[in-house]
A = this chain, B = another copy of it.
Amino acid sequence: MFEKYNVEQKLDLHYRYPVVFTENLFSKSNGELKQFFKDQGANQSIRLLCIVDENLLEGNPKLIQEVEEYFSEEGMPALVSTPILLKGGEALKSRFDIVNELYSAVAEYNICRHSYIMGIGGGTLMDIAGYVAATSHRGVRMLRVPTTVLAQSDAALGVKTSMNFDGKKNFVGTFTPPNGVFCDIALLDSLPEEHYLPGYSEAVKVAILQDEPFLKEIEDLSKDIISREREGSLHVIAKCAELHLKHIATSGDPFEFGSSRPLDFGHWAAHKLEQMSDFKMTHGESVAFGVALDVTYSYLVGKLSEESWRRCMEAFKGLKFELYHPLMEKSLNEPENPESMLHGLEEFRQHLGGRLTVMLIDEIGSGYEVDTMDMTILKDAVLTLKEY
């Protein structure tokens, strides 16, 4: 009676979006956004709500005016209001009251599924703006203009939106591809020092894990990066972005339905340290600690040569990263204590859904996965980093 009515539903979704690198995106002579909206067939009847990271304004006092002038030109969508200002930072990601205010703005300004939200700012602003775009009307169009090294090379390029809930990082969110990403390299000039160099840790991470020649380039360009020479910075950021995007596109699992998360290399400790520091540590700094730890572990278990291990450590040092932090040693003999960094491994296992998968390396550019880590060797790794 029933069998004949059963259906296997098959849905195939195809997303395409451009990731563009440029400088001075909102100067009148810059054609990138004009070309994008032309390709999309947009015009003044299409609406755009702009959300800007307040942190940008000190270094770029004319940004709002430039955005408003840019969108006043013919062929561009209509800016529905002066840009909404939000102060980026981890605290923003707990602000569901701001999510509600943004929903109200979406309603008030008639932002529909064919309208755009444009977020201009760092990773946290992109997370909340992307979340609002993903969940308003079941998804309005989203354009990302990431303005930090980390956001341009990694965090803002991909398919994740997120909020923190009840103290739990990224507990609420969606997988939602944006409609376009526009990285303005000139906006990095005004980044404060503590948000500039640490942003390169994702580039070092992906080079160590996947691409030895890229690590060589980072080593060669480290002085240019430190002196904020644009062409060298652009090369490293864009190359990191390319590797990140390629991974998402070719992994066969862009929305992470499975367990394998190679780009989470070093992240079990990184997330935990970030949280233990009450987010005073930046994500970039914590990734360097986490990657250094798992590289050192790879060396101590005899998989990675001493020479390659030293080279990884020096690559981080060349960009002025610290490789050891006192929090790494907290409750080091109590991996079951939630106050220990080592407890991050158990939290990562839960996050993955019960089966632990940790990426290690047996050579620079070559990763392998394990499903368990030796606590004694992990402690050795911490002490090795302390003495380095």
Chain A 98-127: CB-based contact to B (< 8 A → 1; otherwise 0): 001001100100101111000000000000
Minimum C-beta distance from A234 to chain B (A): 7
Complex Cα–Cα for A382 and B2 (A) = 41
Q: Which of B18, B114, B159 contacts A6 (CB 8 A)?
A: B18
A9 engages B248 (CB within 8 Å): yes
Q: A242 at interface (Cβ–Cβ under 8 A)?
A: yes
A166 engages B115 (CB within 8 Å): no
A45 / chain B contacts, CB cutoff of 8 Å: 354
| Least CB separation from A132: chain B residue | B172
A385 / chain B contacts, CB cutoff of 8 Å: none
Q: A369 at interface (Cβ–Cβ under 8 A)?
A: no
Complex Cα–Cα for A12 and B252 (A) = 8
B166 engages A351 (CB within 8 Å): no
A16 engages B9 (CB within 8 Å): yes
Complex Cα–Cα for A353 and B106 (A) = 13
A5 engages B238 (CB within 8 Å): yes
Q: Which of B6, B21, B103, B350 contacts A20 (CB 8 A)?
A: B6
Chain A 1-38: CB-based contact to B (< 8 A → 1; otherwise 0): 11001111111111111111111000000000000000
Q: A255 at interface (Cβ–Cβ under 8 A)?
A: yes
Q: Which of B8, B138, B177 contacts A160 (CB 8 A)?
A: B138
List 29 A-B pairs, Cβ < 8 Å: A1-B234, A2-B23, A7-B241, A7-B242, A8-B16, A8-B18, A8-B19, A9-B18, A9-B157, A9-B177, A11-B15, A11-B177, A11-B254, A13-B13, A103-B165, A107-B165, A112-B352, A113-B352, A114-B352, A114-B353, A114-B354, A135-B135, A135-B173, A135-B174, A136-B171, A137-B171, A138-B170, A138-B175, A138-B256
* Given A9-B15, A139-B175: 5 more A-B contacts, CB < 8 Å: A5-B239, A7-B245, A107-B166, A113-B256, A113-B352
Nearest 3 A/B pairs, CB to CB: A114-B353, A5-B238, A112-B353
